[in-house]
Structure 1
Amino acid sequence: MTTAQVIVLAGPSGSGKSRLAERLGLPVLRLDDFYKDVGDPTLPLITDGANAGLVDWDHPDSWLCDDALAAIEHLCLHGQGDVPVYDIPTSTRTGRQNLDLHGEAYFVAEGIFAQEVVPRAREAGLLADALCVTQRPAVTFWRRLTRDLREHRKPPLVLVRRGFALMRAQRGVVAHAVSLGCRPMTPVKAAAEIAQMTGHSIR
């Protein structure tokens, strides 16, 4: 029997998932912390374009879906659990930390591959809702680029090239999330719906 259910926030990188998750006042599981470490031989590579030969961190094969699902299930069943801590600039896992739901009936799981957990989480009875946060591609591009440059996530030229590629791919990213069971909406609408469901005030 579960003690909590998960609200999944999917959406393109830079769409505002993390900011929204912080404003909800609920415990947050950062699904980007389940990336594989750099040097893992199973990491996918970009096959064409200016960044050909570099790791394709926007491909779901760069991410540990089974580990993320196991963490979600453990949190739903036990209300707390150890989760990884990942450093994106160095592309390495740096440790683990305890995530405690403190008795909350809901928690948020957000990340660029969040949609991948939706079908199995729903089948297991763990899912409260699944939303795909989306904004206009130009807005998402600028938010993503300024964030990634500020956090020194990757070299600037790589970030700019990646940004344009992701802007072109945004419609497909949203369509994929919808195909896996997410409902697309703006951050404002998503915040209102989650607040109504959980009874939490938006910060």
Structure 2
Amino acid sequence: MRIIDLETINQAMDNETQFVLRCEEVFHDKVSSAAAAILSAGRDRRIVALTGPSGSGKTTTAMRLREYLENLGVKVCLLSMDNFFLPLDQRPPEATDWESPYCVNVEQLVGCIGRLLDGEEADIPWYDFKTGTTGGYNKMQGNRDCVVIAEGIHMLNPLIFDKIRGAATGIYVAPRTRILTDKDRVVRPEQLRVARRLIRDYNTRGHSLRETVERAESVNAGEVNYIQPYKGNASIHIDSFHDYEVCILAKYLGNIPDFQQQLTPEYMEEHKLTDLIEVVQSVPPLHTPYVPLNSIIREFVGGSCYQY
């Protein structure tokens, strides 16, 4: 477990450009190390099962990994587990909420992975979250030498992973670094993920700040029940925390017009987020021109070169 204190972050902000670039270089090295491990695994392990909790940055990590491998001349097929959700009217009784792995059409997902690895064309569904149905299909061409990256919150769950275990490398992506406050309190990774989602969901999904906070409690329960128990299936662990990110989160949270009205001290204390807000309010804001377009942070604050 890594811990960074606020004093270190504030001192590093004396040179914002250097601070950002140093953090991004650290993350680039993590992606390149993961790519090397995948290639070293050889032809028998051409599936990458990449997972992490909501707000972990797993989607950007998967895209960065694909980009890195493609630059080495590797054919990569990237799949999102979210597109393989069962239509609402086809879900079994076990699928009690959106966090349940029983929401996933496992046979369809595994079947598509198999066809792509065999060099065949596969019909890849896309899920319409507004209607709760499969919205249609897109063609994807496989290759007998390709690597298939499948990302989603349940990719390491035995319901899925046991069907591909012999041919897969598991990757677990999540912020793991703790932030030590001036009062010697610790801001945990799940609190940081709430801050990421507050900005993203407000700007792109029309959610109020309080909706996101309250939704996060259900998401965190799903993580404890369905994701954390299977971290052991990952041979690669990537800490997606960027030391500078609380400074850019401070800027974007501060720009939300009703931030202080919605997230009052009493409300944040009730939801155990007081330490997070104190950190956000005690660091200098960082401006986005310093942040690369392919950064994980862009997944949450906007301006990414990737389509989500």
Residue 107 of structure 1, CA deviation: 2.4
Compared CA separation, residues 22 and 153, structure 1 to 2 (3 A): farther
The correspondence for 1:186, drawn from 223, 239, 244, is 239
User: What is the deviation of 1:77?
Assistant: 1.4
Q: Tell me how far apart the structure 1 counterparts of residues 223 and 215 of structure 2 sit (CA, whole Å).
A: 12
The answer to whether the 8 A contact 1:88-1:153 is kept is: no
Q: Is the contact between residue 173 and residue 240 of structure 2 (CA under 8 Å) also seen in structure 1?
A: yes
Superposition map of 1:10-159 within 5 A? 10-24=51-65, 25=67, 26-40=76-90, 42=92, 44=94, 56-101=97-142, 105-116=146-157, 117-123=160-166, 126-127=167-168, 129-135=169-175, 136-152=189-205, 159=212
CA distance in 1, matches of 2:125, 2:222: 29
Give the superposition deviation at 1:131: 0.7
Which of 208, 219, 229 does residue 176 from structure 1 map onto? 229
User: How big is the shift at 1:112?
Assistant: 1.3
Structure having the higher Rg:
2
Give aligned pairs, total.
175
Following the alignment from structure 1 to structure 2, what is the Cα–Cα distance between the partners of residues 32 and 143?
A: 19
Deviation at 1:5, TM superposition (A): 1.6
C-alpha separation in 1, matches of 2:55 and 2:133: 21
Secondary structure of the residue that 1:27 maps to in structure 2?
A: strand
Alpha carbon RMSD of aligned pairs, Å?
3.1
Distance 1:104 1:153 in 2: 42
1:172 and 1:42 mapped to 2: Cα distance? Answer: 18
Give SS of 2:60's match: helix
Sequence identity percentage: 22
Q: Give yes or no for contact 2:91–2:103 (8 Å, CA) kept in 1.
A: no
Letter of the aligned partner of 2:162 in structure 1? P
Rounded to whole Å, the distance in 2 between the matches of 1:30 and 1:131 is 14
CA distance in 1, matches of 2:209, 2:90: 24
Query: CA offsets, 1:157-197, max 9 Å, x none?
Result: 65432212323554555532224x12433148xxxxxxxxx
Structure 2 gaps of 5+ residues are: 1-42, 68-75, 176-188, 242-305
- Residue 103 of structure 1, CA deviation: 6.8
Label 1:173 to 1:61 Cα distance change in 2 as closer, same or farther (>3 A). closer
| Uncovered stretches (5+) of structure 1, i.e. residues with no partner | 47-55, 189-202
Is this contact kept in 1: 2:118–2:143, CA < 8 A? Answer: no
| TM-score under structure 2 length normalisation | 0.49
